[in-house]
């Protein structure tokens, strides 16, 4: 099992890096859209949809991404050079997503609401997936491949640091009814790592960020907090659906949603801060 997990991780990383650094803008858009479509298909499983409806949900999200790209090519960097003011399209996605993760999801987890097998469940899936898709495309076009990789590394570092701190120092359970392995010590360790990483690499992200250190500090703390919230939220939905993983499409790792749960919650906030300073 460990060998399978490691092999899958290596393949996933290689595919992602090749796509990030070697695919042109339109192909990167297609890559991000494909990932979003698969994640939507898995979201259908969390809703308890049958096979046909899950496929339909995945295709629906793909079609929405294509329509947005056709209607707003400049905002996605498809019409030539990325224009900073084009990021304003993202506010229609990033601000509602930020409010959802910071205000609605904590209440959702407290109340233990169930994901509705209805239009409401579909709309929530769109709110989870579409802003993350848009952020993947806009951040790459606005900042370049290395900037996007460094931004994604924020979330990866949060997960790694939280795991390490939790394993060595963890004593107090964070949300035992949802994810028994997570601890407050792990969450704090991940937050400290993210804040340190963010301040060290802020000039490479966006030089203007260092002119507002207090804002940067709170943004990094929020990123760390929302990363944990995103992870816990998917864990709750899987537990309620009676699923260990969102799918078995990635041997040893479960599904796409299992790998991007923290990114769906954090990327909209990162895009909101980073692109806002650029405009």
Local structure of 170: helix, strand or coil: coil
Q: Which residues pair with 24 in a beta bridge?
A: none
Rounded distance, CA 69 to CA 51, Å?
A: 28
Give the pLDDT of residue 2.
Answer: 57
Q: How many CB atoms lie within 10 A of CB 176?
A: 11
Which are the contacts of 113, defined by CB distance < 8 A and separation ≥ 6?
none
Which of the 8 DSSP states describes residue 208?
A: G
Cα-Cα end-to-end distance for the chain: 47
Pairwise pLDDT comparison (221 vs 83), residue with the higher score:
221
**Mean pLDDT score, 98-102:** 93
pLDDT at residue number 73 = 78
**Residue 34 confidence (pLDDT):** 95
Task: Report pLDDT for 85.
Answer: 65
Give the pLDDT confidence score for residue 181 in this predicted structure: 81
* Parent domain of 151: 2-278
The string of pLDDT tens digits covering residues 212-264 is: 778 888 888 988 899 999 989 999 999 998 888 788 787 767 788 888 888 99
More confident site: 79 or 131: 131
Determine the pLDDT at residue 277: 63
Integer Cα distance of 213 and 198 in angstroms: 10
Q: Total domain count for the chain?
A: 1
Count CB neighbours of 125 within 10 A: 21
Q: What is the pLDDT of residue 37?
A: 95
Crossing angle of helices 2-22/145-169, nearest 10°? 160
| CA–CA distance, 74 with 72 (Å, rounded to integer) | 6
Dihedral, CA of residue 64, residue 67, residue 69 and residue 74, to nearest 10: -130
User: Among 20-29, 90-99, 210-219, where is mean pLDDT lowest?
Assistant: 210-219
pLDDT band at 116 (very low <50, low <70, confident <90, very high): confident
Nearest CA among 267, 249, 65, 71 for reference residue 151: 267
């Amino acid at each position: 099992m460990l060998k399978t997990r490691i092999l899958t991780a290596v393949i996933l990383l290689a595919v992602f890096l090749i796509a990030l650094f070697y695919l042109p803008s339109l192909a990167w858009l297609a890559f991000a859209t494909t990932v979003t479509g698969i994640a939507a298909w898995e979201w259908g499983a969390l809703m308890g949809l049958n096979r046909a409806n899950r496929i339909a949900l995945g295709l629906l999200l793909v079609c929405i991404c294509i329509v947005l790209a056709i209607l707003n090519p400049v905002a996605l960097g498809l019409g030539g050079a990325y224009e900073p003011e084009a990021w304003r399209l993202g506010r229609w996605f990033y601000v509602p997503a930020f409010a959802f993760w910071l205000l609605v999801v904590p209440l959702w987890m407290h109340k233990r609401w169930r994901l509705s097998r209805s239009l409401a469940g579909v709309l929530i899936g769109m709110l989870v997936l579409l802003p993350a898709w848009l952020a993947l495309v806009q951040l790459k076009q606005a900042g370049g491949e290395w900037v996007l990789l460094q931004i994604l590394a924020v979330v990866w570092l949060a997960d790694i640091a939280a795991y390490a701190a939790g394993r060595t120092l963890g004593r107090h359970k964070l949300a035992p009814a949802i994810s028994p392995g997570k601890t407050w010590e792990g969450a704090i360790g991940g937050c400290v790592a993210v804040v340190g990483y963010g301040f060290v690499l802020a000039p490479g992200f966006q030089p203007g960020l260092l002119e507002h250190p207090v804002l940067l500090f709170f943004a990094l703390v929020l990123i760390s907090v929302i990363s944990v919230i995103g992870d816990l939220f998917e864990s709750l939905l899987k537990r309620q659906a009676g699923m260990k993983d969102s799918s078995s499409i990635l041997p040893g790792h479960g599904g796409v949603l299992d790998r991007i749960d923290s990114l769906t919650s954090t990327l909209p906030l990162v895009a909101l801060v980073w692109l806002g300073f650029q405009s």
